[in-house]
Structure 1
Amino acid sequence: MSAAARPGRLRAALRLSLKAVAWTALALAFAGLVALALAVQASPRWPGPAAVSALDIARARSFLQRNDPRRPATGPLRTLVATEREANLMLSQLSRRLAPGASAQLMLAGGSAILQASMPVPHSPVAAWLNISVTLHETPGLPTLDDLRVGRLPVPAWVAERLLPHLLERLHATPEGALALDMVRRVRLTPTRVEVIYEWGDDGLQRLLGTLLPPAEQARLTAYAQALAGALQAHAAAGGGGAVPLARLLPPLFTLASQRSAGGADALAENRAALLTLALQATGRRMADLVPAIQAAPLPQPVSVTLAGRDDFAQHFLISAVVALEGGGPLADAIGVYKEVADLRDGSGFSFNDIAADRAGTRFGLLARRDPRTLQDRLARGAPESDFMPDVADLPEFLGRKDFLATYGGVDAPPYRRMLADIDRRLDALPLLGASAPQR
């Protein structure tokens, strides 16, 4: 080859190489678009389990009693046992906390399980969902992943195997995930239940509480406990008696929430701390009962909190508000119904005005979650009880089992549903809660 021809051949080879790179990049981009189109879908494929019922709450209470790690044991290893329904209830609540509208469900088989989840794509201008399905296989330790699909896109097994270490690494980066990975030794999958074998040392409770409520959260709760103590002292100095209306405690606590949020704090976390502090006071519990590590929080004063002149209404309202803020409206409503059904069995009777206080608290908690700053500003200015609690003096209460069944036919019967509809109409008319009907 002559020296004159060599540069031309080099330029031609370079053009061919650049074309090959361009076509490769174009093919990869096209493949990426195809994969994205297959992976992302317009709607959730798995809506999750049916709505939480009062029976589910009874199951959850039994589950917690059976699996309390503080119960005596012969060694450090404990076994948490959950039926498929119990596991799905926990998955449902966890997925809702991770992303509004998300859902997950587990289908068990001997030695394996299929996990399906629907997650909304964050910040998408259109409806977009990731519908994920994966098969879990039991091992002597943690389950392995197989047959992973995202939407209509099958993910090869070798890709799933390489993803697992990265997922575990990201999980380990969170306090909750690190604690779970450190404690869990094995997961057994049977056709009817999940068994999680974990190690519970002498410091297990302290580690768990420290994970669920890190130092920053403990400091936040302490600030609200101090604000509540100041409000109760002001109430006593003004000649208040042995009870304080909830409407008098909301402004000082939510003024603090508004100030902290304006300073850059998480408004939702501030609302959670304010409501939890009020709920503990209303139920006569100490902050240290919930978080032993909190030492700076003042002891609660022996002052009951009332709503519509009754301390039981305040308890129903605030507990439902906290549960709704954490787990959504259906869970809070189900807990309220479960409590009344238990009262029906235990002799104190079924009370529709308690149900009204529960449902009012549920709407309040959902508003605290969906529009936290608006609620803070509204309550900081003061709100009368009539803004968030309807008149329920005419609603039946203390119904015995025989009268309740004869008149209302039991929970979910048409007469019972008509009573709930009447309660919801009263809630719809409230200035604060009427525009915040629970989104199911």
Structure 2
Amino acid sequence: MILRSVKWLFIIIAVIVLLLIAGATAVAIMAVQKTPLVASTATTQLDGADSVNELLGQLQRAFSRREEGHQVTLTETQVESLVGVLQRALPDFKGVVNISPIGGTINLTYAIQDTGYFVNASALVLPGNSLRIEQVKIGDLTIPGRYLLRFLERTVNSYTDSEIATIALSRVERVTMKSGELTLDVGRLDALLTELNIVASNMSVDEESELQRLSAYYLRYLSGREIALSTEPVSLIEYLREGMARAREQSETPQDAVLHNKAVILALAVYVGHHRVGTLVGDIQPNADKALKPRRGAVLHNRNDLARHFIISAALELLSEEGMSLAIGEFKELMDRGNGGSGYSFVDLAADMSGNEFAQVATEISTAVDVQNAMARIQSELEIIPAIEGLPEGLSKQAFIEQYERVDSIVYLKEVEEIKRRISLLPLYKR
């Protein structure tokens, strides 16, 4: 009797497993399609990158005046520019947005590499007194939007062990649309931002890593060096020399060198780049109410902006997916083309790309120790960043379009290739 029961139990389990496999297979087949839903290119979407400055201004006002209600307006151009950044970093991803008075559609396509198949998704967002997603389609599957929204809400709440998603959704008091534009009426954000700080704090404590601990150590170490007290700007190579020398002392193996080099780069990005980079690293400031910073900023080619571009890009290279750091740097330059910006700068882009390359060689196990040794005897900035003479900068949007048209034009790519050529000639980056 017992053997028969066990036998039937195994049969039932086997049937359930087969049904699950069959169901998963059916869902996968329905989700995958042979033609892409979206064929847009990042280059056309990025033409409106300068419009994102206005959106950032709205968000900054909403966050700074958190005890008031606000209206936040997003245009198709702004949303598609942000999608374009993702597409620039992830070439297999494409997205397009359309906003009309009766609803907004979001269409996405992901190309499955080397298969000729695509995962297509679309969502319909409707105006109303809350965030309303009418339906979501993934391939040939249709999912009621309210169920997906509820699932995402519960998932985020569960993952963060909070009510952050519920609070965020409750802040949306009204959604209105007109051609090419969506406006959100949001309530006061103080409760949301308070909850967000608690979530960030809890997660950083739970997930504190050796990299975070070392980054905090090098931040304190560098802030205590004599160069930090200089009344004159100090070259970034001086900070790198100090940090990498200490990293070399602490590294017994190539694996140690990789970890310590990462920590030095992240600490410098926080110290001489921008203290807000620390929010991506974790709680590394000795005093949460007063960020450490040098008396005078670091420089490259006698420019503080280039030192910041270099070291922040290096940090982003370590913290982001491959390609995302360069895409962010390029997007920032496109934003600067607008009124009030510094203009598109291939010089800044050269600093970004040099920082990316430095981060890569400093954290590859085959070259990490070599970078430590090179930094110990470095004599010139031209060992980590190439000469910038002849690289265009300060281009307004109109001047950029007249000269380069877009970011995938032949003449634009020629400038980028020239930067890559100059970087490739630096001995430190030859692998």
Indicate conservation of the 8 Å contact 1:387/1:433, yes or no.
no
Aligned to 1:6: none
Q: Does 1:169 align with 2:154?
A: yes
CA distance in 1, matches of 2:55, 2:163: 24
Indicate conservation of the 8 Å contact 2:40/2:95, yes or no.
yes
Q: Under a length normalisation based on structure 2, what TM-score does the superposition of the two structures give? A: 0.66
CA distance in 1, matches of 2:208, 2:392: 39
| CA distance 1:418–1:142, shift in 2 (3 Å) | closer
CA distance in 2, matches of 1:93, 1:258: 39
Q: Deviations over 1:299-326 (max 9, x none)?
A: 3231432335544431232344455655
Written as runs of structure 1 = structure 2, the 5 A alignment for 1:13-412 is 32-41=24-33, 45-46=37-38, 50-51=42-43, 56-67=48-59, 68-70=61-63, 72=65, 76-91=68-83, 101-119=92-110, 130-146=119-135, 148-151=136-139, 153-155=140-142, 157=144, 162-175=147-160, 178-183=163-168, 184-186=171-173, 188-190=175-177, 191-202=179-190, 205-211=193-199, 214-216=203-205, 224-236=215-227, 242-250=232-240, 271=262, 275=265, 277-282=267-272, 295=287, 299-308=292-301, 310-322=303-315, 326=320, 327-336=324-333, 338-339=335-336, 353-364=347-358, 367=360, 379-383=371-375, 384=378, 385-392=381-388, 394-395=389-390, 410-412=403-405
SS across alignment from 2:51: helix
1:76 deviates by 3.4
1:150 deviates by 2.1
For the aligned residue pairs, the C-alpha RMSD in angstroms reads 5.4
CA distance in 2, matches of 1:245, 1:139: 55
| CA distance 1:423–1:229, shift in 2 (3 Å) | same
CA distance in 2, matches of 1:372, 1:44: 36
Amino acid at match of 2:124: T
| CA distance 1:257–1:178, shift in 2 (3 Å) | farther
Indicate conservation of the 8 Å contact 2:230/2:295, yes or no.
no
| CA distance 1:233–1:195, shift in 2 (3 Å) | same
SS across alignment from 1:301: coil
Q: Deviations over 1:156-190 (max 9, x none)?
A: 65xx6555432321132344995343033345251
Indicate conservation of the 8 Å contact 1:278/1:318, yes or no.
yes
CA distance in 1, matches of 2:249, 2:37: 39
Indicate conservation of the 8 Å contact 2:107/2:123, yes or no.
yes
Aligned to 1:11: none
1:83 deviates by 0.7
State which structure, 1 or 2, has the greater radius of gyration over its C-alpha atoms: 1
1:132 deviates by 1.9
| CA distance 1:55–1:259, shift in 2 (3 Å) | farther
SS across alignment from 2:137: strand
What's the % identity of the aligned pairs? 18
